[in-house]
Amino acid sequence: MFQDIVYTVKSPYRDDMHIMAYRFGRGETAACIVGPTRGNEIQQQYICSQIIKELARLEKTGAINNYEIMVIPTINQFSTNIEKRFWGMDKTDINRMFPGNPTGETTERIAAAVFEKVRNCSYGIQFGSFHTPGEFIPHVRVMDTGKQNTSLANLFGLPYVLLKKPQPFDAGTLNYCWQTEETSAFSIYTPATASIDEMSARQAVSAVLRFLTRMGIIKYNCHSGYIASTIEEEGLMPIKTDVSGIYRPLKKPGDEVKFGDILAEVVDPIEGEVISQIIAPSDGVIFFAHSKPLVVQNCIVYKMIRRLHV
């Protein structure tokens, strides 16, 4: 294992922030794995730490073929240290700054340095989180740019592959910019963000090692995983609240529901009475679930895969 400094952010008050890259194996850089760009993505950083641990063990046993694997476990530890989601100085999102600008603002310079390091890999894997607080079924998310490779996404062995049509703001994400450089890019999502979910973390680590094995980059024996179902983000049914209040969820990601099932309740924060029940509008499977204790009117609290089982 070799360590490189990708970029250093000078600080007048604290130690300088070094963005580190860990390299395993030798030869062509086949895969780059990038961890959190946001300060509250603790689960994502934990997963990357476990991948580094496993790759170090595999390298010692000669299980990495004639390729190099690079892991950048985090690129925003400054925001983690001060418990902020976005960059602490100007609240910008680094994952909207790619491909970056080496002479721009701080987050643009960080993005430029990271992208220069990872742009030439064959496979790019990123661990990210959703803009709405909540939990997902573990899945691989792929930008539908016309250059995506859905069949490769199936090789992770996670339950779902989700195709997302990019919006204008997605042009600044690492996943999108990777695809413009002909890299096969994948984002992996697990249930937790600001907390550790050990079970899904192990599932994510196994998914990455499974993919690297199937691409001939490493030798690793693992469970074959799921035969993934491919879904489109536009096909997910959003379910909203009709009132504001304290949120009491009754279903979680992965639960199968029937039309008319009670999915959640909203409680009056003063009098404690249930003021609204959120009802399943169709048969299906819960794909995304809101996780914060408060909701406002018209907040999306669930996204559902309709009629998955016929």
Q: Are residues 227 and 257 in the same domain?
A: no
Q: Are residues 113 and 192 in the same domain?
A: yes
Counted residue by residue, the chain has a size of 310
Over residues 213-259, the pLDDT tens digits come to: 999 999 998 888 999 999 999 999 999 999 999 999 999 999 999 99
In angstroms, the first-to-last Cα distance of the chain is 49
Looking up residue 246, the CATH number of its domain turns out to be: 2.40.50.100
For residue 310, the model assigns a pLDDT of 47
Q: Are residues 124 and 272 in the same domain?
A: no
Low-confidence residues in the chain, pLDDT < 50: 308-310
Phi-psi region of 263 (alpha: psi -120 to 50; beta: other; left: phi over 0): alpha
For residue 228, the model assigns a pLDDT of 93
In one letter, which amino acid is 147? K
Q: Are residues 8 and 26 in the same domain?
A: yes
Residues paired with 306 in a beta bridge: 284
Domain housing 164: 2-232
* Locus of tokens 């902020």: 84
**Domain ends where: 209, 232, 255?**
232
Residue 187 half-sphere exposure, CB side, CA atoms within 13 Å? 23
**Domain ends where: 206, 232, 258?**
232
* Locus of tokens 């580094």: 52
Q: How many domains does the chain have?
A: 2
Q: Are residues 65 and 135 in the same domain?
A: yes
Q: Are residues 259 and 124 in the same domain?
A: no
Q: Are residues 189 and 80 in the same domain?
A: yes
- What whole-number distance in Å separates Cα of residue 172 and Cα of residue 111? 10
For residue 131, the model assigns a pLDDT of 81
Looking up residue 82, the CATH number of its domain turns out to be: 3.40.630.10
Q: Are residues 106 and 170 in the same domain?
A: yes
For residue 184, the model assigns a pLDDT of 96
Q: Are residues 56 and 126 in the same domain?
A: yes
Quickly count: other Cβ atoms within 10 Å of residue 120's Cβ.
12
Q: Are residues 210 and 249 in the same domain?
A: no
Burial class from Cβ neighbours inside 10 Å (0-12, 13-18, 19+) for residue 29 reads middle
**Domain ends where: 211, 232, 253?**
232
For residue 309, the model assigns a pLDDT of 47
Over residues 245-294, the pLDDT tens digits come to: 999 999 999 999 999 999 999 999 999 999 999 999 999 999 999 999 99
Q: Are residues 190 and 302 in the same domain?
A: no
Q: Are residues 32 and 8 in the same domain?
A: yes
Question: Taking a C-beta distance cutoff of 8 angstroms, is the pair 66, 26 a contact?
Answer: yes
